[in-house]
Amino acid sequence: MGALVLVLFLSVGFAQAQDMRKIALRSASALVQDAETGEIVFGKNAEAVVPIASITKLMTAMVILDAGLDLEEKLVLSREDAVGMKGSRSRLRTGLSMTRGDLLLLALMSSENRAAAALGQSYPGGLEAFVDAMNTKAAVLEMNESRFVEPTGLSPANVSTAADLAKLVRAAHEYPLIREYSTKDRATIRASGRPLAYGNTNGLVRSKYWDIELSKTGYISEAGRCLVMHVRLAEKDLIVVLLDSWGKHSRIGDANRIRKWLESGAAIGRSS
């Protein structure tokens, strides 16, 4: 029944789908899209330009990997990495030595802001060149309503739309390392010989009810709780984008509401 309902939703137009089933979400902007066909299964304020917090780190990862930089190279964290951290806490201290690959893992899995900042600083030409590369990549992906000013997502000037972020997720899914790192449950890395244990910021990667192929969370006060995923659900590859969700657990609640809605076909309230 669940697969049949999903096939029906993916086979009819968006307006028809809205007429047939409504769902109430706490996210201000949302999009569910068939990753293969681009068909919109559900949309809510998908064209609104909003801050995207640490969803930014998917773009950071793509720019690093596109540059072909050595992931085994050891980088020493500098004071410059902490500039613009906006009071964000980090267990990574100035002077620690880590591989670029471990920094990438922490940025994607645990949304470690200083790790993402260090990746940007280590880019050939420095942070300014890195930000230019981020915006160039966005243009290539036709993310026309998106703008990046730094690699962590701590700045509310990093903005996009749910529709643009679906393009970002689709592109990031093409990178095996991003898929692996962003869905890894937990990992212990070594920084200057010290073991540091980290976990994934998206608890759904540990759920038996979800088959998640790519994940990224985000939060700053200006952006609210954010979540993007590339998931396998009811034998379909779907892109899920949830932005500016209010309440600590509301983005996870919205994701579960979407899953149950698609699997059961039951209307769960009304969207706007």
Active-site residue among 29, 54, 122, 160? 54
Strand ranges (DSSP E) for 60-193? 74-76, 97-99, 159-160, 186-191
Burial (CB count within 10 angstroms: exposed 0-12, middle 13-18, buried 19+), residue 110: buried
Q: What is the CA radius of gyration of the chain?
A: 18
Structure confidence by residue, pLDDT tens digits, 88-132:
778 898 899 999 999 999 999 999 999 999 999 999 999 999 999
- Measured distance CA(52)–CA(60) in Å, rounded: 13
Is the alpha carbon torsion for 36, 41, 47, 49 positive or negative?
Answer: negative
Q: Which CATH superfamily is domain 2-264 in?
A: DD-peptidase/beta-lactamase superfamily (3.40.710.10)
Pick the catalytic residue: 27, 110, 111, 146?
111
SS3 50: strand
54 is catalytic: yes
What is the residue extent of each domain of the chain? 2-264
* Max intra-chain CA distance, the chain: 58
Residues in the chain, pLDDT under 70: 1-22, 82-87, 265-272
* Residue 111 known to be catalytic: yes
207 as an active site residue: the answer is no
- Write out the two tokens for 50: 């909003």
Tell me, what's the pLDDT at 2? 44
Between CA 69 and CA 112 the distance in angstroms is 20
- Which residue is catalytic, options 27, 29, 44, 57? 57
- DSSP-assigned states of every residue in 186-207: EEEEEETTEEEEEE-S-GGGG-
Alpha carbon distance, N-terminus to C-terminus of the chain: 26
